[in-house]
A and B are shown apart, each in its own frame.
Chain A
Amino acid sequence: MSFIGRRLLRAIVLLIGVSALCFLFTEMAPGSFFDEMRLNPQISPETILALRSHYGLDQPLLIRYGRWMKSALHGDLGYSIAYNVPVAPLLWSRAKNTLLLTTTALVLTWIISVPLGVWAANRRGGLLDKLVTLASSLLVSVPELVIAVGLLAIAVRWRVFRIGGMVSADFEDFSTWAKLQDIMLHLALPALILVLCETAVIVRHVRASVLEVLGAPYMQAARGFGIGSARLLFRHALPVAANPAISLLGFSLAGLLSGSLIVEVVCGWPGMGPLILEATLSRDLYLVIGGIMFSALFMVGGNLVADVMLLALDPRIRREGTDAN
């Protein structure tokens, strides 16, 4: 089986495993959606039983799992009790917003981190290197929540960004261009928070791996042959340093749906984060499971993309089965 085929198969098995675990854990967790209702004297126990049966919550675990699988293959992923709609479309409408935010942040993060990390490593000990190290250390030490709330406070005070949600109240009345502007301005603050937090981490890794490569014996040998420093950096060093960076990119991609919960909640961005949080608190079973599956899908997908990229770019992995030695 080809490399990609094998990885895909592994991905599918993984997803099935995740779903099984999800069911198991939610089964073990105390409480159900109807606990609140039970406390309400106006709703009779029979109604609750009927509701439970309606949503299939009185069935044994395996049957529920089976039904859910069928529903998943249909594209529904079960039903949300709170919203009374199929899970998948509901999740997707929110996931789009999350992806807009996280993808923007991802692109910006990497556009900033890679050149910065490479430059810092190349001029090790220089002013830029020291600044980068200091700034990234600071940002890494401060929890994301603190940065988020802090920037939010500054933004409110200085009225630079449009805050709260994804669109303004009179969004529908805007022209197309104005609509775009509106979204971008709302996007700016949460994206900024994400970029700050992620860049701090990525730039350090990029710097470290470039440094390691620059000190390798084969770089010294190449220098000994009179190859110029620009060429040494871009043609000789970076391709080797790319390997760990690509793995890191895989992690970044994997976290596209799951990494922005705090920011979304703090800034009121209507993404998956607040939805899943709410669903978890209210025990909206299938919504929670569906949310986890979505995240898992991205996790697996992100890693798969990274694996494929590594396969294409690193000859050592590509030729694994055909070595002379």
Chain B
Amino acid sequence: MDGAKEYFVSVRELTITYSPEDGDPVRAVDGVSLAIGPGEIVGILGESGCGKSTLASAMLRLLPPHARCEGGAILIRGRDLLHLSEKELRAIRGREISLIPQDPALSLNPVMTAGSLVGEVLRAHFPLNAEQRRQRVVELLREVGFDHPDEIYSAYPHQLSGGQRQRIAIAQAVSCRPALLIADEPTSKLDATLQAEIVALLSRIRRQHATAILVISHDPSLFAGFADRIAVMYAGRIVEVGTSAEIFGRPLHPYTQALVRIAASSMVGGAPLLEFEKWPRPTVDPKGFSQLPAIAGESPDPAHLPIGCRFEPRCSERMDVCSRRYPREFTPEPSRPVNCFKYGE
């Protein structure tokens, strides 16, 4: 990663280990480095179990009790979150960094109104009186797209639809104008029809307030036209980074190639993407019936990670060296780090 430039938010060689009571310690996040510039939208693309949600929680220092950050640093505007006290962290959560949780159906307190939910975040960070707070909340509700904010103000979560709940969660997250917003799978639990709306909302927030956004998803199509840069994560490590155009137009890592190919095959009414034909096909089922692009196999068990490349068992282009050593970072193009032996030794 570009260590030289002083980034606004920078994760350096972060490692997070889970120590469950029964079983071996598991490295959920393994030496991950990531940098986010002010007002930049960075995406983390990866499947479930790759450690992306753990990374998101770690950015707020809100890991479950048996998880620990070992080594590395999380720097925001120069301060290392791993060395701050709980009190200092509380001042940062919601105020400088906010997390939009995955499932809007579960992340809103069922006995609090939408207005209270958003108001509580304001209350934690700003000394406003009740009337000021109410006004501010109504403004925020309007900002996230509610036409009748007064009605929504006194509505309870169970009276709202999935899309509306997600907007409330977004309103909570942006209420104190944080510098960094973390959106953890913002549309996975919603109907496909809502994806465009939520993406548009987040884009607008970035545009109007220069908020940086870290978006996490398993679906590449979420990032298209939305993220500036994308980091691809697999089995606890970053394997490729590039701009949105580079990742979709010229993916370098076989895993990325396979994912983009799958996403492209879902395209409805779009023009055929001829360049896919140039890439090697992902491993197909031996029976031969399978006709849709897919990646065979499963991601590795985090408790028993291989020494070599972690994608190697599923890779259609694997070489001998891939199982013997972990591929270091190569840069076949400027600012395009990729951990794959296709690009070097």
Interfacial chain B residues near A325, Cβ < 8 Å: 158-161
Nearest opposing residue in chain B for A221, CB measure:
B107
Residues of A202-228 at the interface with B, using a CB-CB cut-off of 8 Å, are 216-228
Distance, CA A111 to CA B168, complexed state (A): 37
The reply on A28 being an interface residue by CB < 8 A is no
Are the C-beta atoms of B111 and A224 separated by less than 8 Å?
Answer: no
Residue of B nearest to A238 (CB): B111
Are A224 and B101 in touch, CB under 8 angstroms? yes
Q: How far is the CA of A226 from the CA of B176 in the complex (A)?
A: 11
**B109 contacts A226, CB within 8 Å?**
no
Residues of A contacting B169 in the complex (Cβ-Cβ under 8 angstroms)? 221
Q: Please determine whether B124 and A226 come into contact, CB atoms closer than 8 angstroms.
A: yes
Query: Complex Cα distance A226/B93, Å?
Result: 5
Docked CA distance A231–B122 (Å): 13
Check if B297 is an interface residue, CB within 8 A of chain A: no
Contact (A218, B92) CB under 8 Å given A225-B121, A236-B120, A324-B159: no
Interface string of A239-267 (1 = CB under 8 A from B): 11001000000000000000000000000
Taking CB atoms, residues of chain B closer than 8 Å to A231 are 120, 124
Contacts of B161 in A (CB 8 A): 324-325
Which of B93, B101, B159, B160 is close to A217, meaning CB atoms less than 8 Å apart?
A: B101
Nearest CB of chain A from residue B86's CB, rounded to whole Å: 9
Does A173 reach chain B (CB closer than 8 Å)?
no
* B303 close to chain A: CB less than 8 A: no
If A224-B93, A224-B98 touch, whether A316 touches B107 (CB-CB below 8 Å) is: no
Taking a contact as CB atoms under 8 Å apart, the answer to whether A222 and B92 are in contact is: no
Kindly provide the distance from the CB of A136 to the nearest chain B CB, expressed in whole angstroms: 24
- Encoded as 1 (CB less than 8 Å from any B CB) or 0, chain A from 160 to 199 comes to 0000000000000000000000000000000000000000
* Most chain A C-beta atoms within 10 Å of own C-beta, residue among B108, B120, B172: B120
**CB pair A224 B159 closer than 8 Å:** no
Interface string of B104-115 (1 = CB under 8 A from A): 001111111100
- Asked whether A315 is an interface residue with its Cβ less than 8 Å from the other chain, the reply is yes
Picked from A219, A224, A243, A323, the residue with its CB within 8 Å of the CB of B94 is A224
On chain B, the number of residues with a Cβ less than 8 Å from chain A's Cβ atoms is 35
Q: Min CB distance, A316 to chain B, in Å?
A: 6
Query: Does A74 have its Cβ within 8 Å of any Cβ on chain B?
Result: no
B103 interfacial contact with A, CB 8 Å: yes
**How distant is the Cα of A322 from the Cα of B155 in the complex, in angstroms?**
11
Instruction: State in angstroms the CA–CA spacing of A132 and B75 once bound together.
Output: 42
In the complex, the answer to whether A218 meets B124 with C-beta atoms within 8 Å is no
Q: Does A235 contact B (CB under 8 A)?
A: yes
**A314 on the interface (CB 8 Å rule)?**
yes
Q: How far is the CA of A272 from the CA of B60 in the complex (A)?
A: 60
> Which residue of the partner chain, among A217, A220, A228, A316, contacts B111 with CB atoms under 8 Å?
A316
Question: With A221-B107, A324-B161, A325-B158 given, is the CB distance from A226 to B125 under 8 Å?
Answer: yes
What is the distance, in angstroms, from B62's C-beta to the closest C-beta of chain A? Answer: 6
25 residue pairs A–B, Cβ–Cβ below 8 Å: A218-B106, A218-B107, A219-B109, A221-B99, A221-B101, A221-B108, A221-B172, A222-B120, A224-B99, A224-B101, A225-B93, A225-B173, A226-B92, A226-B93, A226-B94, A227-B90, A227-B121, A227-B123, A231-B120, A236-B109, A315-B110, A315-B158, A316-B110, A323-B159, A324-B160
Interface of B toward A, CB cutoff 8 Å: 60, 62, 89-95, 98-99, 101, 103, 106-113, 120-121, 123-125, 155-156, 158-161, 169, 172-173
List the 10 shortest-distance A-B pairs measured between CB atoms, nearest first: A225-B94, A226-B93, A226-B94, A217-B106, A221-B107, A225-B121, A218-B109, A227-B124, A315-B156, A224-B99
Give me the interface of A with B, judged by CB distance under 8 Å.
216-228, 231, 235-236, 239-240, 243, 313-316, 319, 322-325
* Other A-B pairs, 15, CB within 8 Å; known A221-B107, A226-B124: A217-B101, A218-B107, A221-B108, A223-B93, A224-B94, A225-B93, A225-B98, A235-B120, A236-B109, A236-B120, A240-B111, A319-B156, A319-B158, A322-B159, A324-B160
